[in-house]
């Protein structure tokens, strides 16, 4: 019965489990890892509620154990993309017209499945597919994905309840219509949570989706899809295809019913999408919504009043957790000369204890980088840095791909604040540090603001309150997520809505009301209770 108004309480963030030795969650996760390592998944595409297999497959290996096949996935082609679009469009009317609370209930159920019976499964899949350690998998796949799904429902309820005022004699309402057409969700390798959210958020608002995950994340994306299915997602609402990225994108961006793209990935790809949409504008029925969260060159700048332990910890965690493959990872830092020696001493002592290896061993901090392409790209940056006379490699700089794509945490000290590794996104465990004269804070803040094209995350580490105010103001436009006395990673849904401006994206803040608003097209309805019955107005009468 639609005769009710549900009250949606503000959700709590999913608690992060500890995985201490002998804990129940640790035992379950170990069992699940062993189970998954003992079988080879056969991963189909998913179109119109059906598993679709083809004659062409590609193998999947954990990035940290390249001789152990864990799955194969079925590659699609243009026909499958077309089928996915058709399936989405046929599912649209029923899904869009379903009471929103019923749609919400599917995603709330999915969140509970993730937090409960599927927790070990989705975490194990993420550890194996993306080489995340247990903690990184837990905060991503279990907690952040459950948070996205629950907070989206809470924000959707707020949006739907936002209504215009009505003057006497009329009733005004806003209907938050889903977009007319289908949404294209293109997802990155690095967060299982993002992969699920990019299709789930527009779907919650009544849209239908074609989802193309990153090839290097298909293994965990498939587990997300399985959970959505178990939660009761109707056929055709989210269709998952594994066809060539360029071919899929070209076909979709030329479709008249293309209504929007929900993208997270690199800036170059999003630029290309935007340009193509511009060229194809005449083909579309609507102006498509373009939502893209893209690259970063995230910074930490310390003031001479910084607490050295806080600074060293923020640099190490910010730069090297998940092998530096977070869009928010710290990859450039600015430390005043007065505290550099003490900071480096702390960092060096800690770095010597870092354990790198197979993440299935829970004592390991850093796993492998995602792929051979990433390995080549990152090690190329390291070699270029080594050959620059302005640089000193303070730590690491070695790598080895015999068993997996392993790269040491690498710290570069540079004399040139505009050197290559200070400017470009590397997306690996490489941190470049520039030591500035503490008298030159203003000039250094200007450097922080102008050195890269991105503006995603940044942090300042300082104790002096006036310095904090000054740095915060000078860096107003340098980051969409700004931290004071903390690392620049680890945004939590509902607490630090995430996204950046400049070439870091459209800053629609994933997991927030602002993002959900992009997936609706409001219709304003005015109903007159006492309607006029003659054209003339009173002022027209004779004197």
Closer residue to ligand NAD in complex, CB, 149/339: 149
Question: At its nearest, how many Å lie between ligand NAD and the CB of residue 243?
Answer: 10
Asked if residue 69 lies in contact with residue 36, where contact means CB atoms within 8 angstroms, the answer is no
* 294 scored as a contact of ligand NAD (CB under 6 A): yes
Mask for 326-355, x = binds ligand NAD (CB under 6 A): -x----------------------------
Q: In 3-state terms, what secondary structure has residue 406?
A: strand
From 31-39, 137-145, 289-297, 524-532, span contacting ligand NAD (CB under 6 A): 289-297
Give CA torsion, residues 143, 332, 132, 491, to 10 deg: 0
In sequence order, which residues have a C-beta less than 8 Å from that of residue 55 and are 6 or more positions away? Answer: none
* Whole-number Å distance between alpha carbons of 430 and 424: 11
Q: How would you class 295 by CB atoms within 10 Å of its CB: exposed for 0-12, middle for 13-18, buried for 19 or more?
A: buried
* 75 scored as a contact of ligand NAD (CB under 6 A): no
Asked if residue 209 lies in contact with residue 239, where contact means CB atoms within 8 angstroms, the answer is yes
* 379 scored as a contact of ligand NAD (CB under 6 A): no
Closer residue to ligand NAD in complex, CB, 272/403: 272
Q: What does residue 332 show for φ and ψ, rounded to 5 degrees? A: -145, 140
Is position 327 annotated as part of the catalytic site? yes
Cα–Cα–Cα angle for 455, 327, 131, rounded to 5 degrees: 170
* Whole-number Å distance between alpha carbons of 490 and 318: 9
In sequence order, which residues have a C-beta less than 8 Å from that of residue 359 and are 6 or more positions away? Answer: 64, 127, 131, 132, 133, 134, 367
* Whole-number Å distance between alpha carbons of 134 and 136: 6
* Whole-number Å distance between alpha carbons of 366 and 407: 9
In sequence order, which residues have a C-beta less than 8 Å from that of residue 216 and are 6 or more positions away? Answer: 63, 129, 130, 189, 370, 371
Question: At its nearest, how many Å lie between ligand NAD and the CB of residue 161?
Answer: 28
Is position 293 annotated as part of the catalytic site? yes
Q: Which of 327, 360, 408, 425 is catalytic?
A: 327
Closer residue to ligand NAD in complex, CB, 444/489: 489
Question: At its nearest, how many Å lie between ligand NAD and the CB of residue 55?
Answer: 22
Q: Find the binding residues for ligand NAD in span 183-242 (CB under 6 A).
A: 186-191, 194, 212-214
Closer residue to ligand NAD in complex, CB, 28/250: 250
Question: At its nearest, how many Å lie between ligand NAD and the CB of residue 413?
Answer: 24
Q: How would you class 72 by CB atoms within 10 Å of its CB: exposed for 0-12, middle for 13-18, buried for 19 or more?
A: middle
* Strand ranges in 32-70 using DSSP code E only, listed in sequence order: 41-43, 45-47, 50-52, 57-60
From 46-54, 182-190, 223-231, 279-287, span contacting ligand NAD (CB under 6 A): 182-190
Q: Which of 293, 321, 408, 425 is catalytic?
A: 293
Question: At its nearest, how many Å lie between ligand NAD and the CB of residue 61?
Answer: 17
Q: Which residue in the set 126, 136, 207, 264 belongs to the binding site for ligand NAD (CB under 6 A)?
A: 264
Mask for 492-521, x = binds ligand NAD (CB under 6 A): ------xx----xx----------------
Give the residue from 13, 93, 73 showing the smallest Cα distance to 225.
73
Question: At its nearest, how many Å lie between ligand NAD and the CB of residue 296?
Answer: 5
Closer residue to ligand NAD in complex, CB, 382/456: 456
* Whole-number Å distance between alpha carbons of 419 and 434: 10
Closer residue to ligand NAD in complex, CB, 306/407: 407
Residue nearest to ligand NAD (CB): 265
* Strand ranges in 337-429 using DSSP code E only, listed in sequence order: 391-395, 399-400, 406-407, 410-414
* 258 scored as a contact of ligand NAD (CB under 6 A): no
Q: In 3-state terms, what secondary structure has residue 12?
A: coil
* 425 scored as a contact of ligand NAD (CB under 6 A): yes
Q: Which residue in the set 83, 133, 249, 478 belongs to the binding site for ligand NAD (CB under 6 A)?
A: 249
Question: At its nearest, how many Å lie between ligand NAD and the CB of residue 264?
Answer: 5
Question: At its nearest, how many Å lie between ligand NAD and the CB of residue 487?
Answer: 16
Q: What does residue 451 show for φ and ψ, rounded to 5 degrees? A: -75, -30
Give CA torsion, residues 249, 254, 260, 266, to 10 deg: 30
Question: At its nearest, how many Å lie between ligand NAD and the CB of residue 277?
Answer: 12
Q: Tell me how many residues contact ligand NAD (CB under 6 A).
A: 30
Closer residue to ligand NAD in complex, CB, 19/222: 222
Q: Which residue in the set 246, 283, 443, 525 belongs to the binding site for ligand NAD (CB under 6 A)?
A: 246
Annotated active-site positions, please?
293, 327
Residues lying near ligand NAD in the complex (CB under 6 A): 186-191, 194, 212-214, 245-246, 249, 264-266, 269, 272, 293-296, 327, 425, 427, 456, 498-499, 504-505
């Amino acid at each position: 019965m639609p005769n009710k108004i549900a009250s949606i309480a503000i959700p709590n963030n999913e608690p992060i489990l500890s995985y201490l030795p002998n804990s129940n969650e640790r035992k379950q996760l170990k069992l699940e890892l062993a189970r998954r390592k003992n079988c080879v998944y056969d991963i189909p595409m998913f179109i119109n509620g059906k598993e679709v297999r083809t004659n062409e497959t590609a193998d999947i290996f954990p990035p940290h154990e390249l001789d152990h096949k864990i799955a194969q996935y079925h590659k699609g082609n243009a026909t499958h993309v077309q089928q996915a679009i058709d399936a989405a469009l046929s599912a649209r009317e029923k899904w869009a017209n379903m009471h929103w609370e019923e749609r919400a209930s599917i995603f709330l159920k999915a969140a509970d499945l993730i937090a409960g019976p599927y927790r070990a499964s989705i975490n194990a899949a993420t550890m194996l597919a993306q080489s995340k350690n247990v903690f990184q998998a837990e905060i991503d796949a279990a907690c952040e994905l459950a948070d996205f799904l629950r907070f989206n429902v809470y924000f959707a309820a707020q949006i739907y309840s936002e209504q215009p005022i009505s003057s006497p004699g009329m009733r005004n309402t806003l209907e938050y219509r889903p977009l007319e057409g289908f949404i294209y969700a293109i997802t990155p390798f690095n967060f299982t949570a993002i992969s699920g959210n990019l299709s789930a958020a527009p779907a919650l608002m009544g849209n239908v989706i074609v989802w193309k995950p990153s090839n290097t994340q298909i293994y965990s994306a498939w587990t997300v899809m399985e959970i959505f299915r178990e939660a009761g997602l109707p056929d055709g609402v989210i269709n998952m295809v594994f066809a060539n990225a360029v071919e899929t994108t070209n076909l979709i961006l030329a479709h008249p019913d293309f209504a929007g793209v929900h993208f997270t990935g690199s800036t170059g790809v999003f630029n290309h999408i935007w340009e193509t949409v511009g060229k194809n504008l005449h083909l579309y029925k609507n102006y498509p919504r373009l939502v893209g969260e893209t690259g970063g060159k995230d910074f930490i700048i310390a003031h001479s009043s910084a607490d050295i332990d806080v600074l060293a910890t923020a640099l190490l965690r910010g730069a090297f957790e998940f092998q530096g493959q977070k869009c928010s990872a710290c990859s450039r830092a600015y430390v005043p000369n007065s505290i550099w020696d003490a900071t480096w001493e702390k960092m060096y002592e800690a770095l010597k204890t870092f354990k790198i290896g197979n993440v299935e061993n829970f004592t390991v901090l850093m796993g492998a980088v995602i792929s051979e392409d990433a390995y080549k790209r990152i090690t190329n940056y390291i070699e270029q840095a080594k050959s620059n006379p302005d640089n000193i490699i303070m730590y690491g700089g070695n790598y080895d791909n015999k068993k997996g794509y392993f790269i040491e945490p690498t710290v570069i000290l540079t004399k040139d604040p505009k050197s290559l590794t200070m400017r470009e996104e590397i997306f690996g465990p490489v941190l470049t540090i520039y030591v500035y004269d503490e008298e030159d804070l203003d000039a250094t803040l200007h450097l922080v603001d102008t050195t890269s094209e991105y503006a995603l995350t940044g942090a300042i580490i300082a104790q002096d309150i006036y310095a904090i105010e000054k740095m915060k103001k000078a860096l107003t436009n340098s980051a969409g997520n700004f931290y004071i006395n903390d690392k620049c990673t680890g945004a939590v849904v509902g607490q630090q809505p995430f996204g950046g401006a400049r070439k870091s994206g459209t800053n629609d803040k994933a997991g927030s009301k602002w993002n959900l608003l992009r997936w609706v097209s409001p219709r304003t309805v005015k109903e007159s209770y006492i309607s006029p019955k003659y054209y003339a107005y009173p002022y027209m009468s004779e004197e």
